[in-house]
Amino acid sequence: MNVMTCGDPDEAVAGIEDGSTVLVGGFGTAGMPADLIEALVRQGATGLTVVSNNAGNGDTGLAALLDKGRVRRMVCSFPRQSDSWVFDRLYREGRVELELVPQGTLAERLRAAGAGIGAFYSPTGAGTLLAEGKETREIAGRTHVLEYPIKGDVALISAHRADRMGNLVYRRTARNFGPVMATAATTVVAQVREIVDIGALDPEAVVTPGIYIDRVVQVVPAA
């Protein structure tokens, strides 16, 4: 048990190095670790590879990180949204690279990284642009595409509640990428709405066991 309870989001993101691969949880704004991303903007690491389902909304959070030129490469499934103007502009200007990954393949590549799987074959994307240049194999009469894990140096995720062991519970669809990203990075940072004492979470209800978590920080939601 070696979970650091941080006093604020700035402490929680301290030490993230230039050129890191950063996994960022959330689907749209649900489960988005907004305070950790804002702290990362202040922290200043640059040349980042960011792995996240979307590529920022509006002008805050991931969009602010992109806008400041800190992101060299985005790995995501759905960058284009009605309010993704920051990413759209940078992409069209050739100032950010994009690796587009089908959403389920993104989740499974993260899961594979966390589970120590070397690579896996998936039928998703076979025969499409997104499989070009990838190894394929016929398995049970179906074309499968070889996919490699995505491992992060850091994961920034958001959960509902943590205990001081780092055990996490989520709330509703804000769970999304949190549990798989928590397994897939060297250093995992969780922002939560409440940190509770050891023993206060029902062990049967824990979704992410504390073994995966390195730092937690409590962020009181804006009223």
Partner 1 sequence: MTNPTSSPPPLVEHLDRGPLTEHEMAARVARDIPHGSYVNLGIGRPTLVADHLPDGAGVVLHTENGMLNMGPAAQDGQIDPDLINAGKIPVTELPGAAYFHHADSFAMMRGGHLDICVLGAFQVSAAGDLANWHTGAPDAVPAVGGAMDLAIGAKRVFVMMTLFTKQGAPKLVPECTYPLTGVGCVDRVYTDVATFQIGPGGATVLETFGIPYDDLAHRLGVALSRQDWT
Q: Can residue 206 be called a binding residue for partner 1 (CB under 8 A)?
A: no
DSSP 192-209: EEEEE-TT-S-GGG-SB-
Q: Can residue 180 be called a binding residue for partner 1 (CB under 8 A)?
A: yes
Work out how close the CB of 110 gets to partner 1 at its nearest, in angstroms, rounded to a whole number. 7
- Identified binder of partner 1 from the candidate list 5, 60, 124, 136, rule CB under 8 A: 124
Work out how close the CB of 172 gets to partner 1 at its nearest, in angstroms, rounded to a whole number. 4
Interatomic CA distance for residues 203 and 192, integer angstroms? 18
- Identified binder of partner 1 from the candidate list 33, 91, 162, 195, rule CB under 8 A: 91
Q: Can residue 105 be called a binding residue for partner 1 (CB under 8 A)?
A: yes
- Identified binder of partner 1 from the candidate list 5, 38, 78, 194, rule CB under 8 A: 78
Q: Can residue 212 be called a binding residue for partner 1 (CB under 8 A)?
A: no
155: which strand partners?
Answer: 23, 188
As to burial, measured by CB atoms within 10 angstroms (0-12 exposed, 13-18 middle, 19+ buried), residue 174 is: middle
Q: Do 155 and 188 contact (CB within 8 A), yes or no?
A: yes
Q: Compute how many other C-beta atoms are within 10 angstroms of the C-beta atom of residue 170.
A: 20
Q: Token digits for 116?
A: 């120590």
Q: Can residue 186 be called a binding residue for partner 1 (CB under 8 A)?
A: no
| Site track 135-174 with partner 1 (rule: CB under 8 A), x = hit | --------x----------------x---------xxxxx
Q: Can residue 179 be called a binding residue for partner 1 (CB under 8 A)?
A: yes
**Greatest extent of the chain over all pairs of C-alpha atoms, in Å:** 55
